[in-house]
Amino acid sequence: MGRISQRIASISESPTLAVASKAKALREAGRDVIGFGAGEPDFATPSYIVEAAVEACTNPTYHKYSAASGLPELKEAVAEKTARDSGFVVDAGQVLITNGAKHAVYAAMATLVDDGDEVLLPAPYWVTYPEAIRLAGGVPVVVHAGVQQDFRVSVDALEAAWTPRTKLLVFVSPSNPSGAVYSRDEVEAIGRWAAERNVWVLSDDIYEYLVYGDAEYVSMTGIVPELQDRSVIVNGVAKSYAMTGWRVGWMIGPPDVIKAASNLQSHSTSNVNNIAQVAALAALRGGMDSVESMRVAFDRRRRTMYRMLGEIEGVQVVEPRGAFYAFPSLKAFLNKPRGSGATSTSKLAELVLEEALVAFVPGEAFGAPGYARFSYALADDQIEEGMRRLAKFLNG
């Protein structure tokens, strides 16, 4: 009998956090590191949101436990926002407020997946999905899409991976780590396929507002209404409102699923911090101006990064169209003198951090060896300097 349960011992530290902490340690040691590792906006939370939280602190109601599934007024605001942005009507009773969208992913997997159930997971994938699937006893079935497919899986690829044990498809557009955004037709085709195959869909909409150029966010559940009884939407305020540290997300689904997930929550975390919930409510009720100004800044940085990555000979990059990540292929630098002999992107990431003081997350973390994730949620001049250092390291 081991000290740590097998289920938990099989989980590794989130590799995205691992890179960020190594970069932080170097920075604390006085080194001038440029960090492309972090998956969060570099902006402060807009002041009207902070002010609402400060006021909530003085209200004794919020010093007490509240309903485990979330403050009723926040659930109402989430339902309204979903009708507006995703195009389908949900009742506040179909909303569960969670400790961030990450917790909603965990809750959704725990609620839907049984031992041995297969979950279709397009790769490159966000690091938490496979672990959350396994924690629930499920089996991640990875469906790859590389630069040639612009990181978007097709219905044919999903069909090829489908078996009678397939319970769920994980769908995220805009995507972390690839920055890919599926077209309206693609979202609809995949949604129709899932509906026909009786496959549940977990749609992670956390980057819905962060789309650029002619890319658009399309809600799969909104566009394929047959999915409403078999889909779960995960979302939150972290990325759009620069609120990663506040830890407020939510899960939306059919009433029985939300009831079951609420039961789980009532025995695990109870309610999400009331002050943070009030802050999230202020965010959702406060209009889109601050979201839009951050989006415009990300778009400018995106173009800088895309251009500079493209200028590095050997780097293969697809234009990122959403979220705040670029996901180039660095395969041309593996096992080559110009990659200092690195045999994997993990090794290359270590060398680049140590020698060029530039941090990025190797593709291995996302089920896509040979690639690397560069976040462009940092100041324009930092992006430029980091890209110059990378180019110098790679091509001398």
Pattern 26-65, binding to ligand PLP, x per CB under 6 A?
-------------x--------------------------
Site for ligand PLP in 152-181 (CB under 6 A): 172, 176
Gap between the Cα atoms of 170 and 145, Å rounded: 14
294 or 312: whose CB is closer to ligand PLP? 294
Check binding of 122 to ligand PLP (CB under 6 A): no
Choose which of 183, 228, 244, 340 interacts with ligand PLP (CB under 6 A): 244
DSSP code, position 50: H
Looking at the DSSP bridge assignments, the partners of residue 373 are: 361
Choose which of 15, 46, 70, 100 interacts with ligand PLP (CB under 6 A): 100
The distance of closest approach from Cβ of residue 205 to ligand PLP in the complex, given in angstroms and rounded to an integer, is 9
Q: What is the dihedral of CA 208, 236, 117, 366, to 10 degrees?
A: 70
Gap between the Cα atoms of 345 and 350, Å rounded: 9
> Hunting for tokens 């902006």 — which residue is that?
43
Q: Which stretch binds ligand PLP (CB under 6 A): 25-33, 100-108, 257-265, 373-381?
A: 100-108
Pattern 293-332, binding to ligand PLP, x per CB under 6 A?
----------------------------------------
Gap between the Cα atoms of 175 and 300, Å rounded: 18
The answer to whether 125 and 202 have CB atoms below 8 angstroms apart is no
The distance of closest approach from Cβ of residue 333 to ligand PLP in the complex, given in angstroms and rounded to an integer, is 26
Gap between the Cα atoms of 282 and 243, Å rounded: 12
Count the site residues for ligand PLP by CB under 6 A.
Answer: 13
Check binding of 236 to ligand PLP (CB under 6 A): yes
Can you spell out the DSSP letters for 256-271? HHHHHHHHHHHHHT-S
Gap between the Cα atoms of 188 and 165, Å rounded: 23
Q: How far apart are the first and last CA of the chain?
A: 53
Which parts of this chain interact with ligand PLP (CB under 6 A)?
A: 39, 100-102, 126, 172, 176, 204, 206, 236, 238, 244, 249
